[in-house]
Structure 1
C-alpha cells in the first residue's frame, strides 16, 4: 500500500487537528465534573437523607474516546435508599430536586430532567453534564440499574467494569482509542451524508474491541480503519459479538434481533437491540464504500486524488 501522498502520520495529524478532544479541554471538562461532584458531596454530608453512594465520570470522556465536538459529559450517580423512587419519571424528578437544592444559584432551566438523565447546564462554558441515576443495592462490583438511553427502561449495568473493559484494551494497544475516534468521526460524517444512518459509539467501541481481541493491530491508521470496515462488510453484521471478561458464553441468552453486539458487563443486554436489518444494511453499505475509498486513496497516483478519496471517508474537513 502506498503512503506517498497521505501517510499514517498525515492521518495522525488530521486526528490531532480535527478529530480528537484536546487534552486541555478534556482536563477542564473533568475538572468541571469534579467540581459538581464535590458540591454534591458537600450537599450529601449536610443532607443524609440523600443516599448518594458514588459518582463517576462515564461515557467517551472517561474512556478516552471523545471527539472534539463533545458538548456534554456523562456522570453516573449511584443512589440507594428506601425512599428513592422506583418509577423512572419520579426518580428523575427526585434527582432533579436534589440537584436544584445543591445548586440554589442555578436557574430552573439549568437543571432539567430528560428521558434517562438530569441535565445540568453550565452557562459559562456552555457545557452540559448529564447526571445519570443508577439505582444501587450494595453490589460489591457496583452493578446497578440505570435508565436506558434507547427506550427509557431500567437496564442493569456496571460503570467501573465498562471503564475497565476499555482500559485493559488500551493497555494492549496504544492506538486502540485513536482508531475508535477516527471511526466515530466517520460515523459523524455519514450521519450528515446519509439520511437515517446511525451507529452508536458504544457499538463502534465493541466492534473495535472484538478486532483487537482477535489480534488485529491499530498502529497503522489506514490499515486499522480497514480492519473495521472490512469486518462490517464481510460479516454483514450477522455475527454475534460478545466478550467473556465478566461472564461465560453460556450465560448469554438467545437474542433474536438482527444485530447482536452484547454488552460486556451484562449478557442479557444486546447493545444493538433496536437496530433494524435496514439500518444494518446501511452500515454495511457505508463501510463498503469507505473501504473502497481507502483502497483507492492508497493506490492513487496524485495527492489531489488521494485527498479526494480520503474525503469520502472523513468529509471535506479532511485536508493535508
Structure 2
C-alpha cells in the first residue's frame, strides 16, 4: 500500500519544513543585515536603493530545515535605481556589496564571505544561515523587474523576484500539496546530488505538472510522477508556463529548456550540460524504481534510500 498523504505530511512537517521559530530567527538576522547594508551603501557610495525583497526558497516557503546536507540560503534582492549607475559601477556591484559586507562584519573570517557570479554571499557560522545579496538594476518601466549582471560573462538577465514568489503562491493555491512535494523533491536532490539540478528547476518542473495534470490527489503518486517525468523525457521536452502565453516564443538551443515564468526570453536551465542532463535522468530513474518498490513492499526503510536516514512517518 502506498504511503498516505497523512504519512508524508507528517514527514514534511516534522523533518523537512523549516519551523516557525527558526523562520523568525532567520528573518531577524536578515533584517539586521539589510538595515546595516542599506546604511553602508548610502554612506559609502552614490547608489540609490529603491527597495529590498527577500526572495528564493525562503520567501517561497519551499526551503528545507537545516541539516548537513540541506543548507539554509536566503536570497535578498537589492533593487538599485538605474539613474544612479554608470557602467563601471554596474559591472562591479557584487564586488561593492562584498566589500561592504566585510566592513559590516569585521570580526568574521574571510572565508565567510564570497563573491559569486551574480551575488555576494555572507555565512553566519553560529546559525548556519547563508545570505546571498543579489544586486539588480531596477527596470524604470516595471519596478518589480531588474537586470542581473554576470561578472564573468558580462551578460545581463531580466529577473523579477516578486513574480517568482507569486508564481509559487499561485501553484500552491492550485495544489495544496505543492510545497510539500517541492520539499520532498529537494530533499531527494540533496541526497542523490544529481549534477546541475537546482532547487528552482524542481519548483518549476513540479509547477509544470500541476499546470498539465491538475492538483495532486496523492502526494506519493505525484512524487513518483515527478521522478518518472524526468526519467522518461530525459528533460528533452521544453517546459513553459501560462504566464508566458501571448509572448514571442523564443527558440533555445540549450540541452535543457525550462522557460522562466517571469521572463520568456530566459532559459533558467541553460547551464545544464548534456552530460548532466543524462545523469539527472539516470538518478531520477533509479529513484523512481526505488519509490515504486517501496510503495509496493510497504517498506519504510526503502524510502530512506531516496530521502536518507531521517525519513520517518511516525514517532
Aligned residue in 1 for 2:25: 28
Aligned residue in 2 for 1:77: 78
Aligned partner of residue 87 in structure 2, secondary structure: coil
Unaligned stretches of 5+ in structure 1? none
CA RMSD of superposed structures (Å): 2.7
User: Once the 2 structures are TM-superposed, how far is the Cα of residue 212 of structure 1 from its aligned partner?
Assistant: 0.6
Report if aligned partners of 1:84, 1:91 keep a CA contact under 8 Å in 2: no
Report if aligned partners of 2:238, 2:256 keep a CA contact under 8 Å in 1: yes
Per the normalisation by structure 2, the TM-score is: 0.86
Q: Pick 1 or 2: higher relative contact order, CA cutoff 8 A, min separation 6.
A: 2
1:281 pairs with one of 278, 281, 300? 278
1:310 pairs with one of 290, 296, 303? 303
Distance 2:199 2:154 in 1: 18
Aligned partner of residue 155 in structure 1, secondary structure: strand
TM-aligned CA distance change 1:287 to 1:97, over 3 Å: closer
Deviations 1:198-232 (A, max 9, x none): 31111101111111111333352211201211211
Distance 1:160 1:280 in 2: 29
TM-aligned CA distance change 1:53 to 1:256, over 3 Å: same
Report if aligned partners of 2:174, 2:215 keep a CA contact under 8 Å in 1: no
Matches within 5 A, 1:281-300: 281-300=278-297
Aligned residue in 2 for 1:187: 189
Which one has a larger percent strand, Structure 1 or Structure 2? 2
Aligned residue in 1 for 2:164: 162
Tell me whether 307-316 or 208-217 shows the greater mean CA deviation. 307-316
Aligned residue in 2 for 1:231: 229
Matches within 5 A, 1:78-117: 78-82=79-83, 84-87=85-88, 90-99=92-101, 103=104, 109=110, 112-117=114-119
2:36 pairs with one of 35, 39, 43? 39
User: Once the 2 structures are TM-superposed, how far is the Cα of residue 108 of structure 1 from its aligned partner?
Assistant: 7.5
Distance 2:8 2:105 in 1: 46
Aligned partner of residue 269 in structure 1, secondary structure: strand
Report if aligned partners of 1:187, 1:198 keep a CA contact under 8 Å in 2: no
Matches within 5 A, 1:209-220: 209-220=207-218
Deviations 1:219-263 (A, max 9, x none): 522112012112112222111001131x33551211011111111
Aligned residue in 2 for 1:11: 8
Per the normalisation by structure 1, the TM-score is: 0.85
- Number of paired residues? 307
Distance 1:150 1:215 in 2: 39
Distance 2:234 2:256 in 1: 9
Aligned partner of residue 253 in structure 1, secondary structure: coil
Distance 1:289 1:107 in 2: 42
Report if aligned partners of 1:53, 1:79 keep a CA contact under 8 Å in 2: yes
Unaligned stretches of 5+ in structure 2? none
Distance 1:150 1:234 in 2: 35
User: Once the 2 structures are TM-superposed, how far is the Cα of residue 54 of structure 1 from its aligned partner?
Assistant: 0.8
Report if aligned partners of 1:257, 1:273 keep a CA contact under 8 Å in 2: yes
